[in-house]
Structure 1
Amino acid sequence: MNGRNVLGATLERYAVPVVWLLVIAFFALRSDSFASTSTIKLILSTQTVILIATLGLLATLAVEEFDLSIGSVVGFGGCLLAVLDGRDGWAPGPAIVMTLLVCAAFGALNAVLSVFAGVPSIIVTLGTGTVLAGVTLGVTDSRVVTGISVKTVRFMTDGLLFGIPAPFYGGLLLCLIAWFILQHTPLGRRMIFIAESREVARLAGLRVSAIRFGAFVVTSTLGGLAGIVLAGTNSAANPQAGAYYLLPAFAAAFLGSTTIVPGRFNAWGAFVAVYFLTTGITGLQYLGYAGWPEQVFYGGSLVAAVTLSHLAGRRRLPRVS
């Protein structure tokens, strides 16, 4: 590999982290209050929900499936926890376990319809996600559910280390697990093989259907976990909150696929993408902007980062269709 190719590959791999540092420097120069430990804690502690949801999406995206129900699962998971823990008086542990089991079962339903019935996942999950959003409204009577136990709320909000709540470190642990599985295990290599050519993978003897099935279950389970963190952090659950998390999770997943391990959906790329995007949005808020400028930054940053990676390395991104 000649010098130009090495430089191009390096730029492609680290384009987003470099732009992230430039964004931090820009807002630090424009706002004195931005460059503070309180801002760092705010950014790190408020994005765990999106991070967990994004990591969940990696499972299905890695096998060339698209789960559009992730936002609905986040909203449902939070509301189910709030209903069990707050309204019905369940202990926090059993309430969390039941929520995760129900969300996993929903993922299994998506898998049955897509993997075994052969319906495209983008259609299946769009439909089931809409149904689940309606179920969430029904379960909560379209009202915010309060009364989550103090024990659950304190676990989600009290500083564990350096004043940052426990869910952030849980998100880091999930990143580590996802990184290890996707990049250092036979299962991860099989998922890549399936994404490249499902039929060839099947002919090679891989359990394609089982792996795809498991991917849907993992996505919904982590979506439910993200909802649990959301409800615990807010000490309440809004039945309409899940819709907000669909676009950010997909944006972070695809932006993450352009960095660290370009061309593949990867855990640390997703981590960088989540906090890169929220850094920009937080910076705009410190400068007094809100609303549409945030959306422009969200979309513009994604396009800019992907374009930069393409120009630097000319490597193929994961296919979208």
Structure 2
Amino acid sequence: MTKSTETAGATTSYLRIFERFALIVVWALLILFFSVLMPSSFFNWGNFAILFASYAPAALLALAIIVPLTAGDYDLAVGATLTLSSCLVGVLNVWMGLPIVLCIVIALSAGAAVGLFHALFIIYFRIPSLVVTLGTTSLMTGIVQWMTNSSTIGGIDNSLIMAVVGGRIFGIPYSFYYAIAAVLVLWYVFEFTPLGRRLLFVGRGREVARLNGVSVDKMRVGALVSSGVIASAAGVLYAGTLGSADPYSGLNYLLPAFAAAFLGSTTILPGRFNALGTLVAVYFLGTGITGLTMLGIPLWVTNVFNGGALIAAVTISQLTRGREATDIG
């Protein structure tokens, strides 16, 4: 091996390391930028505590997205599932008087049922996942509006609120730590279990996976059901954070969550949807939106920011995944 070859190899290695952590560096620079502009209001622990807690449901929603994405399926209905879950908690607890624990169990079960409904049409009737989940988004939105009379439901049991935001560790509400726990669980499953490797194998090539003895359909069903349950958990977390159920809330999270899912696949483990990268991306986008809001920008700028971030994230993700595939080949 020549000296020039060794130098080129070392340079490539350094570039790969930089690529893994580039988003974290950009996030730090973004924090620095807003801190210089607003040193007293932005750069304080109270602001970051609110940021970490308020974006915990978005973090769970982004995690719900990356599970089926890893298997090659899209779930556009996660935002509607979040709304359905939170409103079920509100209706069952406030209007029907059911215990909050039972309401949470029913909400999570509804998420599993949504996942099974998706699997029925996507896997067994062979309808594209984009079409199915777009349809169920409209379906669940209508059901929620009927169920709630299109009104916000307040007065959710205080025990849920206390469990989500009533206590703090290092000044940060519990909701943030629930999101961290979910990230760690998914990270472990994806990186250190045969289940995670099989799921990745299915996403890379279903026919190849099937020929190697992987039960592709079962893996995809499991991914869709997991997505529904995690999205429902995000709804429960959201209800506990607000103390109420809003029938129009979940769809606002959908675009940022998808942007975070794809942007997360460009960091930590570039070329793969991964839980740690998704968490970084959620709070990178959250920092940008929070900083812009505190600067007093018009509402439409937030939509431009989210849409632009999604386009950029998908483009970078595709380029990275394409390069990774070339390297493997």
Query: TM-score if structure 1 supplies the norm length?
Result: 0.94
Counterpart amino acid of residue 292 in structure 2: L
Q: 1:110 aligns with which of 118, 133, 137?
A: 118
Which of the residues 183, 194, 209 maps onto 2:191? 183
Describe the shift of the 1:308–1:247 C-alpha distance in structure 2 as closer, same or farther (beyond 3 A): closer
> Which residues in structure 2 correspond to 1:147-162 (within 5 Å)?
147-162=155-170
Q: Give the AA of the match of 2:127.
A: V
Instruction: Please name the residue that 1:13 is paired with.
Output: 20
Match of 2:177 among 169, 180, 187: 169
* Cα distance, 1:3 vs structure 2: 1.9
Contact between 1:12 and 1:310, CA under 8 Å: does it hold in 2? no
The number of equivalent residue pairs is 317
| CA deviation string 1:156-190 (max 9, x = no partner) | 22133122221211110100000011111111111
Aligned equivalents of 1:228 and 1:269: distance in 2?
A: 23
Match of 2:37 among 21, 26, 30: 30
Q: Does 1:271 align with 2:245?
A: no
Alpha-carbon deviation of 1:292?
A: 2.0
Letter in 1 for 2:270: P
Match in the other structure for 2:105: 97
Q: Does 1:231 align with 2:229?
A: no
Contact 1:258 1:306 in 2 (8 A): no
Q: Does 1:2 align with 2:9?
A: yes
- Residues 14/314 of structure 1: CA separation in 2 closer, same or farther (3 Å cut): farther
> Deviation at 1:49?
0.6
Equivalent position amino acid for 2:35 in 1: A
Contact 2:116–2:221 (Cα < 8 Å) also in 1: yes
* AA aligned opposite 1:228: V
Aligned partner of 1:21: which letter?
Answer: A
Q: Which residue of 2 aligns with 1:70?
A: 78
User: Which one of the candidate residues 287, 292, 296 is aligned to 1:284?
Assistant: 292
- The residue matched to 2:266 in structure 1 has which SS? coil
Among 197, 211, 216, the residue aligned to 2:219: 211
Question: What is residue 195 of structure 1 aligned with on the other side?
Answer: 203
Q: How many angstroms does 1:316 deviate by?
A: 4.4
Letter in 2 for 1:47: Y
- Following TM superposition, by how much is the alpha carbon of 1:293 offset from its aligned partner in structure 2, in angstroms? 2.1
Secondary structure of 1:259 counterpart? coil
- AA aligned to 1:279 is T
Structure 1: gaps (5+ residues): none
Contact 1:15 1:309 in 2 (8 A): no
Q: Secondary structure in 2 aligned to 1:315? A: helix
Tell me, yes or no, if the aligned pair for 2:263 and 2:317 is still in contact at 8 Å.
Answer: no
Report if the CA contact (8 A) 1:158-1:164 is conserved. no
Aligned amino acid, residue 12 of structure 1: E
Q: Which moved more, 1:241-250 or 1:159-168?
A: 159-168
Query: In 2, are the aligned partners of 1:74 and 1:224 still within 8 Å (CA)?
Result: yes
In the alignment, the residues of structure 1 paired with residue 319 and residue 164 of structure 2 have an alpha-carbon distance, to the nearest angstrom, of 42
1:312 to partner: Cα distance: 9.2
Of all paired residues, the percent bearing the same amino acid is 40
Give 3-state SS (helix, strand or coil) of 1:96's partner. helix
Within 2, Cα distance between the matches of 1:140 and 1:164? 31
The answer to whether the Cα contact below 8 Å between 1:11 and 1:313 also exists between their aligned partners in 2 is no
Deviation string for 1:255-310 (max 9, x for gaps)?
00000000000000000000000101111122221312223333444555677788
Q: Does 1:59 align with 2:71?
A: no
Cα distance between partner residues in 2 of 1:308 and 1:197 = 21
Alpha-carbon offset, residue 313 of structure 1 = 10
Instruction: Give the 3 Å change call, closer, same or farther, for CA 114–225 of structure 1 in structure 2.
Output: same
Please tell me whether the aligned partners of residues 15 and 308 of structure 1 are also in contact (alpha carbons under 8 angstroms): no
- Distance of 2:312 and 2:96 partners within structure 1: 48
Moved more, 289-298 or 149-158: 289-298
Task: Tell me the amino acid that sits aligned with residue 232 of structure 1.
Answer: G
Residue 123 (1) aligns with residue 147 (2): no
Counterparts in 2 of 1:22 and 1:79: CA distance versus 1, 3 Å: same
What residue is the counterpart of 1:40 in the other structure?
48
Kindly provide the CA deviation profile for residues 202-246 of structure 1, in whole angstroms up to 9, marking residues without a partner as x.
Answer: 111111111100100010111111111111211111111121121
Write the distance in 2 (CA, Å) between the matches of 1:55 and 1:310. 19
Give the partner amino acid of 1:65: D
